[in-house]
Amino acid sequence: MKVAILGYGTVGSGVYEVLKMNADYIAQGVGEHLEIKYVLDLRDFPGQDVEKVLTHDFNDIISDPEVRVIAEVMGGEHPAYEFSKAALEAGKSVCTSNKELVSKHGAELLRIAREHKCSYFFEASVGGGIPIIRPLNNALTADEILEIRGIVNGTTNYILTRMRDVGMDFEEALAEAQANGYAERNPAADIEGLDAARKTSILASLANRTQIDCEDIYTEGITKITAADIAYAKKLKANIKLLSLTKREAGKTYAMVAPVMIRSNSQLYFINGVFNAIMVKGNAVGDLMFYGSGAGKLPTASAVVADMIQAAKHKGVTVDTIWDEKKLKPEPKDAMRFRFFIRVPAEEADKANKAFGIGEVVDAGIPAEYGFVTDYIREADFEELSKDLHVINRIRCDFKYK
């Protein structure tokens, strides 16, 4: 069977490599070899093997009836959306790692695939090489998904790990992540939480079986986390993680991305470096956890190629995913409940205690500061109670009392 790859960047070259490296093994699973007929890219790659199949024109691919499966690994919304839509309308299955595209247009592209008897797969869009989309679509369809929480961005997890383990400040840890290839030259989507929000949008949409837009998810990055916050977290025997959270409770849906303090009674406490972990709670199966490399060339490519294998095994039919195009807006963050770690100037200690009650006091040796953890309160109540305080920083806490 002939296949094509759209994009020859990090993931695209990884897909090419995996298809070549494991060609015979893949053929055993499919029943025939997956032969790369085209790789689409604007650039040339003189002297490289890929030059033999390189094209600069998408029409070469879309007009070729031999091509049945396409890997879309270009990234970004455009022209990935137009190319994916055209491919599906031509009856060619599409497999993608593009979380921006899936988050915005996943439900629509699934409908188009359904209408043209082909499939749209996106396992690699969340968690890199971690299998999470297919379990939600297949193994867990008997369950109502009550909650999904996890660490879904390796860049921020690496930065927070280095700040904790080595004592780096945020800028130092970010620079090291960039030097090691774990962060983009422009890291805004990672450190401001947008990448995690897109993935949360996908997970929340699948859990609720209807569209939840990224723009409707409260999102907070890690740019305000300082060495002082890390010191306080250590005193609390906690780690700070950028948490992706979606849950259903009393008929209402909540979703959020934000830094959260986590203690060792949660397995997410132990997830370090660029690794990801996603915890799923079903009303029948209970708690599950999926862990592994959340990014990187070959782990992500592995997930894309696994989807290509599924598409090849089901040519002419649709492997469907329940994801309605009707939009569901999560509840406002004001209704969510957390404990809050709060830092205020030392002279405001009495005022803070009067506002919140004397909670769990934390002494991290930071001069002229008072740190404490509140009881569980609603976000809206935190905003009201803290309005007369000079809050240096506040971080949500996902743990109970000592």
Contacts of 245 (CB under 8 A, 6+ apart): 147, 148, 149, 200, 254, 255, 256, 257, 258
The span from the first CA to the last CA of the chain, in angstroms, equals 59
Phi, psi of 146 (to 5 degrees): -85, -35
Residues labelled as active-site residues: 199
Other C-beta atoms lying within 10 Å of the C-beta of residue 329? 13
Supply the DSSP symbol for 389.
S
Buried b (16+ CB within 10 A) or exposed e, 149-162: bbbbbbbbbbbbbb
Residues in the chain: 402
Q: How far apart are CA 301 and CA 324, in angstroms?
A: 27
> Contact 218/396 with Cβ under 8 angstroms?
no
Residue type, 24: D
Closest-CA residue to 155 (of 66, 261, 276): 276
Q: How far apart are CA 49 and CA 140, in angstroms?
A: 41
C-alpha distance from residue 77 to each of 27, 191, 214, 307, 315 (Å): 32, 20, 14, 20, 26
